[in-house]
Amino acid sequence: MRSPSEVGAEAVPLVRPLPADTFCPQSRRRFVLIAAILASALGFIDGSILAIATPAIRVDLGASFAEAQWISNAYALTLSALILVGGAAGDRFGLRHAFVAGIALFIAASLACAVAPNPPMLIAFRAIQGIGAAIMVPGSLAIIAKAYPKKERGRAIGIWAAASALTTALGPVLGGVVLSAFGDGIWRVIFAVNLPLGLVSIYLLLAKVPADAPTERRSLDLGGAALATLAFGALAYGLTSMSAEGEGQMSGPSIAAGAVLLIVFIVFERRQREPMIDLSLFRVGAFAGANVATFFLYFALSANLFYLPMLLIAGWGLSAAEVGFIFLPLSVLIALLSGPVGQWSDRIGPRFPIASGSLVVAVAFAGLAVLAYAGIHSFWWGVFPLMALMGLGMALVVSPLSTAVMTAVEDKDTGAASGINNAVSRIGGLIAVAAMGSLAAWVYAAALNSGAASGIPGFGEPAPDVDAARLAASDAAFAAVALVTALLCLLSAIVAWTTVSGERLPWPRGSEAPQR
């Protein structure tokens, strides 16, 4: 039986021997890059537009506040719990095979989401979509790194990053325009559009790109993945239940069960010969600190990007087309500034950029809290400038934070360190949507001096008319979320300043940095 690499080499005749650090001939590499960009667009567009489409989904399907949280969190749960296993699958089965499988599962689940008849079915299909993304997301960058030789890799990854930033920036804007123009039911197109993008990506990978050989035959830590899914799922369910009518009594036991399962997961991983997460890396103070800062920062970012559109659309009555612009500054500023900030971080060390960027984000979120609490309903002169300030802060953080994670560990552990940091950021988002939703629901009900049983629409629930009392309660609920997240960003800055190295990078300026 021929190996995958032999089959690929036979399908794509080589004119000259390939470099040792690539599996793909030069004439075919552009197809790898295009496929990776299209696949990345699936995840980026799907995630950013969903926050804007959530009010429309709630109206069309009659979803409760807790169900709206789980439409987001079902995807985040399986993605964050399985992303490390998804990355390992590429090593074991070959990146092309795993990448295609992830894309196929993602678009199949997307089509199921597009025709979901009710919230529970949509939540279930979103969980399956997250499984596909857990294989697809790490494969996107990894297959570029494996297809391009070392000397060409940086340029290819730069093109991929720029294209990804462009899709992230334009996706919510275009999605918002479509939602505003065609009404609530058009939200299904958000998921259906994944089909043509995914099919083109799969075609390019199968027809134009040779198969790569698996790099190692390590076992997949499916037991660890299952425990992580159960642990974080129980924690998220418990936190979400605090805001759900009739389910509050389940929050305590669920959180306790999640905590116990998390301990079991840690013990299980420590005893594994090939664990999903190398827990020994957390003994390195700089690595642990960088990940704590990551958790707080992405917790805050995810909470605001999920609940701010709800406030603006269901509370302030803005159109989805306007609200789509709140994602624009974040994407554009990260795309424009990550390179210069990365060079700055190389010169002075990552500590100051991370700490200062986190403080800038804290100021932006505190500004949103003040704006909402004061009832200043100005989008273009209030919310949008603060989102631009937040984008500036994140642009200061993203590249140095990756650098801090990479330089805190030995070169042989950089791949594992990057995967853990990616998972930590997504777990932060998962917990944020669950926990801050309960806070928002509690403050909203307290501001109205009423419980959920009164029949008054809940926080973020679209209604034909929003009276002054509901609007003030919605403002107060989001102000609480924004204030808590501002404090977490401040804490992120403190953690980064006290744990992350302030020294410049150990390699000379202008030389090649360790591969990530």
pLDDT of residue 515: 37
Residue 117: exposure state from Cβ atoms within 10 A (0-12, 13-18, ≥19): exposed
The C-alpha atoms of residue 373 and residue 474 are separated, in whole angstroms, by 9
Highest mean pLDDT, choosing among 236-250, 474-488, 492-506: 474-488
Among 429, 450, 439, 508, which Cα is nearest to 478's?
Answer: 439
Q: What is the pLDDT of residues 410-426, one digit of tens each?
A: 867 777 787 888 889 99
- Give the torsion sign (CA, 508, 514, 515, 516): negative
pLDDT of residue 8: 35
The pTM assigned to this predicted structure is 0.87
Mean pLDDT value of segment 327-337: 86
pLDDT at 155 over 90: no
DSSP string, 266-332: HHHHHH-SS-SS-GGGGGSHHHHHHHHHHHHHHHHHHHHHHHHHHIIIIIS---HHHHGGGGHHHHH
CATH fold group of domain 1-217? Growth Hormone; Chain: A; (1.20.1250)
pLDDT of residue 357: 95
pLDDT of residue 182: 79
- Cβ neighbours of residue 135 closer than 8 Å, sequence gap 6 or more: 82, 86, 89, 90, 98, 99, 101, 102, 105
DSSP string, 404-462: HHHHTS-GGGHHHHHHHHHHHHHHHHHHHHHHHHHHHHHHHHHHHT--GGG----TT--
CATH among 1.10.3720.10, 1.20.1250.20, 1.10.730.10, 3.40.50.1980 for 284-507: 1.20.1250.20
CB of 139 within 8 A of CB of 21? Answer: no
Average pLDDT, the chain: 84
Q: What is the pLDDT of residues 193-250, one digit of tens each?
A: 889 989 999 999 999 888 888 776 667 888 888 999 999 999 999 888 876 555 566 7
The C-alpha atoms of residue 309 and residue 379 are separated, in whole angstroms, by 11
Fold: same for 1-217 and 284-507: yes
- Give first-to-last CA distance, the chain, whole Å: 34
Among 190, 210, 176, 66, which Cα is nearest to 129's?
Answer: 190
The C-alpha atoms of residue 370 and residue 478 are separated, in whole angstroms, by 10
Helix residue ranges, H only, 94-118:
95-114
The C-alpha atoms of residue 338 and residue 351 are separated, in whole angstroms, by 15
CB of 410 within 8 A of CB of 514? Answer: no
- Count the Cβ atoms, other than its own, within 10 Å of residue 338: 22
pLDDT of residue 381: 94
Three-class SS state of 374: coil
Measured CA to CA in angstroms, residue 83 lies from 73, 289, 428, 449 at distances of 15, 21, 14, 43
Q: Six-digit token pair at 348?
A: 């002075």
Instruction: Give the domain ranges of the chain.
Output: 1-217, 222-273, 284-507
